[in-house]
Chains A and B, each alone.
Chain A
């Protein structure tokens, strides 16, 4: 009996750890949840930026830019929707919603510029995305400071 308990101990330990971590995850505040949701948005803005840069360097085709922009816009819309539904105060979520709207617009601008073969316009959208990435990072830093 003793040996079967000791053999099962690592597994039970692991399950107990998983349960406690699940509980910790489930008990996150709305602000922390929104902060988590914003992380993929930062990643997609960075992806759009790199895609534009690589198109300007002739490293990726226009069809790839179009597909990446489509995917990014869906993901950014998802984050905006999550922000809209979040119970956090308006002064916290409205800046995030605005950033998502602007990032989607920058993605659309990037797609149009690539379609037109307009390299300076692509560079401008890349700069715009870089600025939005900075604003999002500032918003995230502000929320991290606010989190309990």
Chain B
């Protein structure tokens, strides 16, 4: 492996770790730890396995075919077949973008004391300016490297010396002792937070932007497996901290104010600011990536020019898409939608719609005419199908439960 590829691998791993944590991970991990201690770690482990496979597959596809996923799905299956996954993706991208903008606003609310809704438009302007002025690699590397601050959750968890037996036992699925509806809903939320479809659609467009070719297949495998694997350790850290700090006091996380107390015990003087900054940076990185993911999907669906490194005059519709998306998502927060409820709803929908957005992708990955020797083998297919089935069954059970019965 030459120096350039080694550097790409190292940077890719660091950015995957730093970029792993976002508002969905914060909300679902805090809720899971506070209510069920270590019992839902299995959902996180399951989600991590699936996301490693999906991200590896999307990077491999882009490296071999030099095409992003929406582009390829539309070309292979036709525009009409792509419409349903496209509509579903656009909806969940939009809701998740709203949740991420809400997360940044909440972080600023913690730091300044000003209302969450006050920050909606300034935050939208900040995200937009970041996209308008930056190149793809600057966006990808800066926010994700700054996101390494979220490792604070791992340090905190380590300092609490959690009972390793209980932590390991949590990796095996078990039935809840109380609040079954909420248990399954949070399990689905954890899965949805880890396997946000924007991740692998964004990743494939990013690989095209970075001009990956077939020689990057090994680098891609390392980034997906090591980066995503270690990234999920941050979520484990958040679950452990919530289990140690909030659960014994009987504090559930029904609001982000409750989650904000998580680090104040282990880091008494700067834990509060650390939580706010971690949340703000993690959500900023995700909001920027989501805005780009929306613009990529629209542009690749309708065959427009696209590319974050292009001058806005060359891809005006691409830039207009993320501009409108950011503004519309910020309006949700401006008009008082609860950021935590929006986050949990988005994460549950993420898990529920996975089959719609992952199945066309899976079919594509088995096309030997397109991918030749790089097409999926039985291991990738089996793991992906199995975890997708688990996700849809859990979503089919928990979402009606929360809305109708819970």
Contact = CB atoms under 8 A, between A and B. Distances in A.
Interface of A: 10-11, 13-15, 17-19, 21-26, 39-40, 42-44, 46-47, 49-51, 54, 57-61, 63-64, 66-68, 71, 75, 133
B248 to A, nearest CB: 10
Given A15-B397, A63-B113, 20 more contacts: A14-B393, A14-B394, A17-B397, A21-B180, A22-B400, A23-B405, A25-B181, A26-B404, A43-B251, A43-B254, A46-B249, A47-B258, A50-B261, A57-B268, A59-B269, A61-B113, A66-B113, A67-B109, A67-B257, A71-B255
Given A18-B396, A68-B257, A59 B389 contact: no
19 contacts: A11-B396, A13-B393, A14-B394, A14-B396, A18-B396, A18-B397, A21-B405, A42-B250, A47-B257, A51-B261, A54-B261, A59-B265, A59-B271, A60-B264, A63-B113, A64-B110, A67-B113, A67-B257, A133-B250
Contacts of B180: 21
A23 B258 CA distance: 31
A50 B34 CA distance: 14
B401 interface: yes
B392 A11 contact: yes
A46 B264 contact: no
A113 to B, nearest CB: 18
B251 A14 contact: no
Contacts of A24: 405
A63 B108 CA distance: 12
A54 B262 CA distance: 11
Contacts, number: 97
B315 to A, nearest CB: 41
- Most B CB contacts (10 A, CB to CB) among A11, A18, A26, A51 go to A18
B251 A47 contact: yes
Nearest to A59: B264
Interface of B: 109-110, 112-113, 180-181, 249-252, 254-255, 257-258, 260-261, 264-265, 268-269, 271-272, 389, 392-394, 396-398, 400-401, 404-406
Nearest to A51: B261
A25 B397 contact: no
Nearest to B255: A71
Contacts of B249: 46, 49-50
B261 A60 contact: yes
A64 B400 contact: no
Given A42-B250, A47-B258, A15 B396 contact: yes
Contacts of B258: 43, 47
Nearest to A69: B257
B353 to A, nearest CB: 14
B252 A40 contact: yes
A66 B257 CA distance: 11
- Most A CB contacts (10 A, CB to CB) among B260, B264, B404 go to B264
- Most B CB contacts (10 A, CB to CB) among A22, A46, A47, A75 go to A47
Contacts of B252: 39-40, 43
A57 B254 CA distance: 24
Q: Which 10 A-B pairs have the closest CB atoms?
A: A63-B113, A25-B405, A22-B405, A59-B264, A43-B252, A14-B396, A22-B404, A18-B400, A14-B393, A18-B397
A75 B261 contact: no
Contact of B272 (A11, A49, A61, A71): A61
A50 B258 CA distance: 9
Given A22-B404, A61-B272, A54 B264 contact: yes
A122 B264 CA distance: 18
Contacts of A42: 250
Nearest to B393: A14
Given A11-B392, A18-B397, A66-B113, A50 B251 contact: yes
B176 to A, nearest CB: 12
